[in-house]
Each structure stands twice: as C-alpha cells, then as structure tokens.
Amino acid sequence: MHAPKQHNWTGHLRIELGWAHYRGPIGDSRRHAHYATQLVFSQRVAILGPDGERLSSAASVRAIPSGVPHQIQSASAINDLIFLEPSVLAGVWTQLEETHGHITAESVVGQLERRPGARLPARFRSILECPDAALPPGFSARDASERLGISRAHFSHLFRRDMGLPFRQWVLWTRLNQSVRRVLSGEDHTQAALSAGFSDSAHLARTMRRMFGISLSALRPTR
C-alpha cells in the first residue's frame, strides 16, 4: 500500500479567541492527537480513528474530540477544519444536535464570531488589548488582577464568566493568533514567536502541534 501523497497547508489559517478555522488543502496525514476539538467539513476526507478504523458519518460534519488519536489523510481539495477550545464547544454542539450534524463551516464561524466573549469587555480592554504588542512573557491572572486592583480569584471568576474560557487559555490563543499572523505575513519563525511572547520558535512549534496537530513549518506565507 502506498502512503498518501503529502500536500502543504497552503490554505488560510485564522486563529481567534478559543477557535481556529483552516480552509485549504490538508497537508499532514500522520497519526496524532491534539488539545482542540476538531470539526471536519468534508466527506471527501478520510479520517482514521485510534485503531486505524475509518470514521464515517452521514452528517456533513465529523467531530474529533480533544485528545483522541486520529489521522486525516492528505487531500489536495479545498477543505474546512474548525478547531475549538473545549470550553467553547458547548454552543456549537447545541447547533450540531439541532441540525443533526448538517451545518456548514460558514454557519459555525458566524456563530463563533457572535458568541459572548468574542471580544474583550470594556473592563478588561485597557489592560489586555494590545494589537501591535504581545503580552509580557509569563503574564498571569495575578498580573492582570493587580492592574485592575481586584483579587486574583475575583478576576478569574469575572474573566471566565465574561469570556467563556479561563484566562490562561485566553493568553495562549492570543499568542497563537499574533504569531501565526506574523508567520503568514512572511516573518521569520523565531521573530514571530518572540514578538508574540513565546520563548522561542520551538516553543511556538510545540504549541501548534499540541493545540491543532499542525506543523508550524508546514504553514506557508500568504501571497
């Protein structure tokens, strides 16, 4: 049996707070597991489960839970993949159940863009919003709470209530958003990682693998 032909991840990767959307050819067919829950919007893409079995469904979308080993066979056609922070999954899952899995990537993205927590509330904006600069390395909930003049526990409660995910995960998604934007604009991987607050490019690459199962080196700058 011949190994499937490998394709580069030459599509568009968009990373927002708690979710990411990739549209384009699928490039990595190695067996792996990752933190984010994954939605696959194509019946043309073969998905192999933990024991090598082919995962099939009559629905228009297939879900791969967080931490489940799998393999998506390389495919050159345009495909949609959505990656979700587990704490963000509940609202999307309700939509999947209501439509019996017959939804489009566009409708899920629209729901994610409108969800509470898609944008920083005013109370956090002054201390956390930094479009052109990264949060300092090691920036924690304690640092943020001190800037606001409230306790760490109270800050963590308010943040999770308003944003829908823990502060630590928000920081991680923010750093990924900033670094991937820089990589796709053609910036050197090391500089992109450091500018976003990662310790080095290896740290960024490990985080990409752990979150999405995507190799940083497979991303190609947008032309």
Residues 6+ apart with CB under 8 A from 154: 145
Q: How far apart are CA 72 and CA 157, in angstroms?
A: 37
Residue 146 in contact with residue 155, Cβ under 8 Å? Answer: no
pTM here is 0.79
Boundaries of CATH 2.60.120.10 in the chain? 12-114
Class of domain 122-218: mainly alpha
Q: Looking at beta carbons, which pairs linking 188-191 to residues 24 or more positions away fall under 8 Å? A: 189/216, 189/217
Residue 48 in contact with residue 213, Cβ under 8 Å? Answer: no
Pairing type for strands 75-84 and 19-26 reads antiparallel
Residue 17 in contact with residue 173, Cβ under 8 Å? Answer: yes
Residue 204 in contact with residue 219, Cβ under 8 Å? Answer: no
SS3 call for 60? coil
Q: How would you write the pLDDT of the chain (223 residues) with one tens digit per residue?
A: 344 444 566 778 899 888 999 988 876 557 788 889 999 887 667 788 777 777 776 667 888 888 888 888 766 677 899 999 887 887 777 777 777 667 889 988 998 888 766 677 778 887 776 644 567 778 889 999 998 899 999 999 999 888 888 898 888 998 998 898 899 888 999 999 998 989 999 999 999 988 988 888 777 665 5
Q: Quick one: 12-114 is in which CATH superfamily?
A: Jelly Rolls (2.60.120.10)
Boundaries of CATH 1.10.10.60 in the chain? 122-218
